[in-house]
Amino acid sequence: MGRRAVVTGGASGIGAACAERLRADGVEVVTADIAAGADQRLDVRDPESVTGLFDRIGPVDILINSAGVVGPSAPLVEVDLDDWRRTFAINTEGTFLTCKTFAPAMCERGWGRIVNLASIAAKDGNPLQSAYSASKAAVIALTKSLGKELATTGVLVNAIAPAAVASPMNADTDPEILERSQALTPMRRMGRPEEIAELVSWLSSSAVSFSTGAVYDASGGRASY
Ligand SMILES: NC(=O)c1ccc[n+]([C@@H]2O[C@H](COP(=O)([O-])OP(=O)(O)OC[C@H]3O[C@@H](n4cnc5c(N)ncnc54)[C@H](O)[C@@H]3O)[C@@H](O)[C@H]2O)c1
């Protein structure tokens, strides 16, 4: 039976690589993004935009939550509340809204895979990235909660925590933050989007069957727990 996936943030970087990798696996993929270039327009912050997407494309078997922003690069005491809220609205509430909208039909059909893009920042708490780090820590906790809630439904919910990946997201990241990240990474390099997509491909398949609410590292050896 052919599977269908929706990939948020699918117009760029890791999301685009996931779409390509899943298509190579034989999955029918719909990319959804606020930016041009995706199959469907989506603003993950907006509940009506998310339910509108569901109404247009119908149930899917696989949900990849890759839409995200790095948010403000500044000491916490200098972060504007609006920038903090915007980071949470996209990274955390966006993931909440897509899970809430797409998971019920997966449960009804008795099979589903949800993969949320978190970050090593969620575990480490990157200096100068408090909003990003906290918003992604919330994505990890959401993944653990939902994984447990759906554990007997056939729907598995897992997260990936990459270290810095060479994607358009990092075009605007403070060079000091990127240097720090590379210095902390034993492999001494950034990840590539297709390396994350490889893990997403496995987490989206029937090959994964006894893992849910789990966090998978893709960090060049940086993660220590
Ligand atoms: N690149 C990294 O170093 C890195 C590391 C760890 C985790 N991640 C996470 O991986 C995911 C993908 O990152 P990436 O590197 O591909 O970034 P990217 O900037 O290349 O892609 C992110 C995509 O999300 C989309 N997006 C932003 N706001 C949106 C909204 N409101 N609604 C819908 N789409 C929206 C953007 O238009 C873009 O296409 C993100 O969640 C990011 O936090 C990235």
Cβ neighbours, 10 Å, residue 174 = 14
pLDDT of residue 1: 66
Pocket of ligand 1 contains residue 117 by CB under 6 Å: yes
pLDDT of residue 19: 98
pLDDT of residue 225: 84
Locate the ligand 1 atom nearest the alpha carbon of residue 191 and give its number.
3
Q: Is 202 exposed, middle or buried (0-12, 13-18, 19+ CB in 10 A)?
A: middle
pLDDT of residue 181: 87
Domain extent listing, the chain: 4-218
Distance 153 CA to ligand 1 centre (A): 29
Give the containing element (helix H, strand E) for 7. Answer: strand 4-8
Pocket of ligand 1 contains residue 45 by CB under 6 Å: yes
Distance 131 CA to ligand 1 centre (A): 15
pLDDT of residue 174: 76
Below-50 pLDDT ranges, the chain: none
**pTM here?**
0.98
Q: Is 132 a catalytic residue?
A: yes
What does the block give as tokens for 28? 């029918």
Q: What is the DSSP letter of 221?
A: T
pLDDT in tens, 194-218: 999 999 999 999 999 999 999 999 9
Alpha-helix residue ranges (DSSP H) falling in the chain: 13-24, 47-57, 81-88, 94-109, 120-124, 130-149, 175-184, 193-203
Q: What is the DSSP letter of 169?
A: G
Pocket of ligand 1 contains residue 89 by CB under 6 Å: no
Domain 4-218 indexed as CATH 3.30.70.2860: no
Q: What Å distances lie between residue 211 and 13, 86, 113, 162, 221, CA to CA?
A: 26, 31, 11, 18, 21
Pocket of ligand 1 contains residue 90 by CB under 6 Å: yes
